[in-house]
Structure 1
Amino acid sequence: MLEIGLVGLPMVGKTTIFNLVTNAGVETSNYQTGKTETNVSMAKVPDKRIDFLSDLYNPKKTTYAQIQFSDVPGLVQGASQGKGVGNQFLDSIRNSDLLVHVVRAFSDPDVLHADGSIDPLRDVETINMELLLTDLDLVEKRIERIKGGKKITKEAAAELEVLGKLKDALENEVSLRQLDLSDSEQEILQNYSFFTEKPLMIAVNTDEEQFKAGDYPRKQDLEAWATERETRLIEVCGQAEMEIAQLPEEDRELFMEDLGIQESGVDRLARAAFDKLGLMAFFTVGEDEVRAWTIKKETVARKAAGKIHNDLERGFIRAEVIHFDDLKTCGSMAAAKDKGLVRLEGKEYVVKDGDILNIRFNV
C-alpha cells in the first residue's frame, strides 16, 4: 500500500489537506492549541474505471486503490536540534513512500504564520534544511558507531565510504535524492530510510482568490526551486476544497465548477503521486469483487499476479488480458471475447495501466 507523509511548518494547512484527501474530519484547531500527535487515515483513490466495472459486474465488494496518509505536527526552524515538537514525530513517516511538503501561500490574518510573513520559498527551504540536518545526524551517528567498533570489516569499510559520500552531500545542503548512487551503493544503504532520499512533492495551499488567479507570492521562485530539483508542484485550495469534499456528492460539482476545478483534491494528489512514483493500476473483475491493484510501471504479468496472491505468481501459467477501454467499448466480457479482444499473455508480458487480468495458475 502506498504511504504518504505530510510535512510542513505549523499553521500551513497540513491537517486541512489531510482532511481533504481522507475525509477524516480531524479538528484543525487542535494544532493551534498545541495538540501533538500524528494523524493517520486511509484515502480511497477515485477511479471512474472502477466505477464503470462495478456497475457492469455488480459485485459483492468493490475495492479501490488506497493511500495511507500520515500528518505529523508542524516542524519549526531548529527542529533537528530539538526545537518544537514536530521532530519527535518524524519517525512515524520514516517509512513513507513519498513526502508531501504542504507550504502556505494563503493569506488569513486570523492564522498566524510561524515566521511572521507569507513566503513559500523560504518555508520550503526551512523544512528542507531541517530534513537535511535530521539525515545528517543519523549519518554521523552511524559513522561514529562503526568507527568505535573493535574491528572494521570489509563490509563496514564499504559502508563507511558510502556514508562519507552522504555526509559530504548533506553538509553541502544537497538532498540525498539528488545523488547518483551506484547499484552497489544503494544496496549498502537498503536498510536505511533517509528523509531527503524520499521522492518529494510540494502542495501549495492557496486561498480562493490565489487559486482562481493561478498566482501566489513567490510562485516563479518556488517553481524554479522545484524544477532544479525535479520536484512536482501542485496547487490546492485547502479550506474551500475540504468544505466541498464534505458535501453530498451530488452537490459538489457546482462548487468545484465555481472554484475552477474538474478533479477533487484527492484525485489530483493521487494522480500526481502515482506519476511521481511511476505507479499505475490494473484490475480484477468478477461477481465477488471488482478491485484495483497498484503496481510499478513496467511490471510483468507474473509479478502482477503475485500482487494478488503469492500462489498466483508461483503457479503462473498465463494471463487473460483485456484493456479497460476495449471492455468499455464492447459493453461486456462476452462481447469482447466474440471480437477476439481478450488475449492470452505469458509471464513476461508488461502489464499496461488499465489492463484487466484473469490469472491462470496451478500449484
Structure 2
Amino acid sequence: MALQCGIVGLPNVGKSTLFNCLSNAKAQAANFPFCTIEPNVGVITVPDDRLTKLAELVKPNKVQPNTIEIVDIAGLVKGASKGEGLGNQFLGNIRATNAIIHVLRCFDDGNVIHVDGSVDPIRDKEIIDTELQLKDLDTVVKRIQKVEKMAKTDKDAKKTFDILTIFKAHLETGKSIRTAKVEQEDFDFIADLGLLTQKPVMYVCNVDEASVVNGNKYVEMVKASVADENAEVLVISAKIESEIAELESYEERQEFLADLGLTESGVNKLIRAAYRLLDLYT
C-alpha cells in the first residue's frame, strides 16, 4: 500500500489549486509521473535510478516502482474536532495519511475572500493545529482511562499510561505531539493510536508572483512560528503553478520560469519535499 501525504488547509488558501497542479505534473516533468485515482487522490511514482538500472540488467516483464499518494483533504474549519460540518470525515481522512502538507495563504488579494476576513497565516495555522490537537487530546484521554487500572499490574499498560500522560500535558499547552520531548521508541510504542499531530508535517506558503523568489513578511512569520518544529517551509505560488500547467512544451515552461527568476517549478520542489517528508530518498 502506497504511503500517503494529505494536503490540508483552510478554505480558499490555494490547497486544491496546488493539488490540481500536481495532477498535471506528468506533463510538466517526466521524472515525476502522477495520475489521479480518485477526484481527490493522486499517485506520484517515486523515481529510483537503482530500479531503472536493475531493470536494464534483469529485463523483467514488469517493473513496479514505489509510489506516494497525495490526498486533497477538504478544507478544515473551526469546530472540526467536534464534528462541525464534515469534521469527522476530514479528520478521519488525515488519520489515514502518513504525513501532512499544510498550505497557508501568504498573499494579499481582495478578490480571493478569506474565511476569517483577513490574511494571517499564523492564525490559520493555529486554527488547524488546534482542531488536530483537540482531536488527539480526546483520543489520548480515552486511552488513558482505558489503561489506567491495567497499568498497576501490566508492564505495557504502564508504559502506555506514562507516555500518554506526557502527551496529554503537552497537548493541553497547545503544542503538537511531534514536538514532545520523548524518545522515538515512545512515539513508536503508541503508533497504533494514529495521533494526528504526531505525523510529520511541512508547510507550503502560497504567495503572489512578486514574492515567489524571496518570500514576503507572511513567509517570515511562518518560518519564525515553526522554528521549533524542525519542519520544512516551501514558498510556492499556486497561481504561477496553474499558469505553468497550461504551457504545452518543456521549453515554454523553462522560459516562463526563467522570466520569473526561477530554475524549477514549485510542483517539482513540492514533490521532492514530499519524498523527504516520508524519508523516501532515492
TM-score range, shorter chain: 0.7 to 0.9
Q: Does 1:237 align with 2:237?
A: yes
User: Which moved further from structure 2: 61-70 or 218-227?
Assistant: 61-70
Q: Residues 59 and 217 from structure 1, CA distance in 2 versus in 1: closer, same or farther, beyond 3 angstroms?
A: farther
Bigger helix share: 2
Shift of 1:84: 3.2
Where does residue 228 of structure 2 map in the other structure? 228
User: Which moved further from structure 2: 184-193 or 71-80?
Assistant: 184-193
CA distance in 2, matches of 1:63, 1:4: 20
Shift of 1:259: 2.8
State the superposition RMSD in angstroms: 3.2
CA distance in 1, matches of 2:45, 2:208: 25
CA distance in 1, matches of 2:202, 2:66: 20
1:336-362 CA-to-partner distances (Å, cap 9, x unmatched) read xxxxxxxxxxxxxxxxxxxxxxxxxxx
Shift of 1:191: 1.3
User: Which moved further from structure 2: 133-142 or 45-54?
Assistant: 45-54
Q: Residues 76 and 208 from structure 1, CA distance in 2 versus in 1: closer, same or farther, beyond 3 angstroms?
A: same
TM-score, structure 2 normalization = 0.81
Shift of 1:54: 9.8
CA distance in 2, matches of 1:165, 1:222: 27
Percent identity among equivalent residues? 39
CA distance in 2, matches of 1:54, 1:238: 36
Q: Which amino acid aligns with 1:224?
A: A
CA distance in 2, matches of 1:190, 1:201: 20
Q: Residues 258 and 46 from structure 1, CA distance in 2 versus in 1: closer, same or farther, beyond 3 angstroms?
A: farther
SS at match of 2:134: helix
* Structure 2: runs of 5 or more not aligned: 26-37
Q: Residues 55 and 242 from structure 1, CA distance in 2 versus in 1: closer, same or farther, beyond 3 angstroms?
A: farther
TM-score, structure 1 normalization = 0.64
Q: Which amino acid aligns with 2:183?
A: S
SS at match of 1:280: coil
CA distance in 2, matches of 1:49, 1:190: 31
Where does residue 219 of structure 2 map in the other structure? 219
Q: Residues 266 and 56 from structure 1, CA distance in 2 versus in 1: closer, same or farther, beyond 3 angstroms?
A: farther
* Structure 1: runs of 5 or more not aligned: 25-36, 282-363
User: Which moved further from structure 2: 194-203 or 179-188?
Assistant: 179-188
SS at match of 2:126: helix
CA distance in 2, matches of 1:76, 1:141: 24
Where does residue 30 of structure 2 map in the other structure? none
Report if the CA contact (8 A) 1:38-1:70 is conserved.
no
SS at match of 1:228: helix
The higher-RCO structure (CA 8 Å, 6+ apart) is 2
Q: Residues 56 and 184 from structure 1, CA distance in 2 versus in 1: closer, same or farther, beyond 3 angstroms?
A: closer
